[in-house]
Structures are given as C-alpha cells and as structure tokens.
Amino acid sequence: MNPWSNPYYLQHPPYYNPHIYYPPGYTQPQPINGPPPFHSKKWPNLHPALAADATTIRYDLKKKPQEDILGTTFLSIRHSPAMAYSVTNMRIISRSFPWAVDIVSAVPITCQMVFDALYAALQHPLADSEWGLAIGDKKLKESIEKSAKSRADKDGDKALKRIDWLGDGTHFKGLEKIEEFEKARLLPGKPAVGETWVVKLTT
C-alpha cells in the first residue's frame, strides 16, 4: 500500500523525503512527531487508535476519556477522523452489553466523538427492562450489584448504571468488524447502519 494515500500516514511525516536522493550511508532524520503509527491491517480505513488490531489505547470507560487516556495521545488524536473517508453516522455494538450506541453528526465523526459516545452511553441509568433481563442471570445480577456498590463508594451515586452491567470488563480494547454478529444483532425492522462496529472490552 502506498503510504502517501493513507490520510493517517500524512499526519506523521516519513523519516525522509522519498523524492530526494540521499547518498549511501545517509542517516535518516527522525520526524518531529515520532515514527508513523502502526496501522490496522484488517481495517485500514479505521483510525489505528480505534482499531482492535492496532490500538495501544487501553482506557477505563468508567472515566471520561480525556481523564484516562494519556494527555499527549488524547490531544493528538481527538480531532482525527474516525474513518479515512467522511462518516457522519456510526453504530457501536458489543458482545458485552445488549444496547446499541448510535453516533449521528453533522460533521465527520472523530476519534473523540467515538470515545465520548461510549462513555456517555454507559453513564445512563440502567433501564427497568434491562434490570428485568439481568435478574434472570444470577451471575450477571450479582456482578452488576457488586460493580454498582464499588462505584457508589467512590462517587456516591447509588443508582444502577449501564457501566455496572460490564462488571470488571470496562476497558476499551478497540473496534472490529464482525458481520455475522452485526446481522444477528440488528433488530428486525430497524435500518442497518453501514458503519457498524463491535467494541471489544476487557478487564
């Protein structure tokens, strides 16, 4: 792949100008911003900070992204487009929770929009129907209650939240494409969203 055709590569200049002749033994200078980031091989159109096979970001969704992601990293990617082409509608689903997170924007969706949408969605109070689903699984119910108590001891908020559904698995591990799960997960009669991604979470 020609790196110059990749918009993410252009944010990180190459070690040398390929259009200039350098004599044998010439030491290539380091770019100011460091070496180019590792790009996703599976999903090259997804920003590498978001791609499950490329991201090195591991932040806790219990916290606001700007508080838990390394400051310099967050500032460098926050306004970067989530996709290599303009995307204003994205849906995020997961094997770890039963709801969909829809991001609809008037401007191209950025990495920060993805991080903020995930955080905001998990801060919602647990719905009555969701609790009704949870009580049918003793292990899940106990995990939610344990997580809620631990969180309430820190922030004083005793209301059950969606983040409690995840137990200890609240750390972002990237987005991936799983078409079979995406099709099975789509509610019958609801329109599909082309940019539907599955978020991986870990402890």
Same domain membership, residue 88 and residue 60: yes
**29-67: b (≥16 Cβ within 10 Å) or e:** eeeeeeebbebbeebeebbbbbbbebbebebebbeebee
Q: Is residue 42 part of a domain?
A: no
Per-residue pLDDT of the chain (203 residues; tens, 9 = 90+): 433 244 444 344 333 344 444 455 545 444 444 434 458 999 999 999 999 999 999 899 999 999 999 999 999 999 999 999 999 999 999 999 999 999 999 999 999 999 999 999 999 999 999 999 999 999 999 999 999 999 999 988 999 999 999 999 999 999 999 999 999 999 999 999 999 999 999 99
Q: Domain residues for 54?
A: 47-202
Beta-bridged to residue 46, according to DSSP, are 83
Rounded to whole angstroms, the Cα distance separating 68 from 75 reads 12
Residues 87 and 124 in one domain: yes
Indicate if 9 and 72 belong to the same structural domain.
no
41 within a domain of the structure (yes/no) = no
Kindly state whether residue 181 falls inside one of the protein's structural domains: yes
Nearest to 198 by CA among 77, 91, 117: 91
- Do residues 98 and 190 both lie within one domain? yes
Could you tell me the pTM of the whole model? 0.81
* Same-domain status, 87 and 153: yes
- HSE-up (13 A, CA, CB side) for residue 172: 28
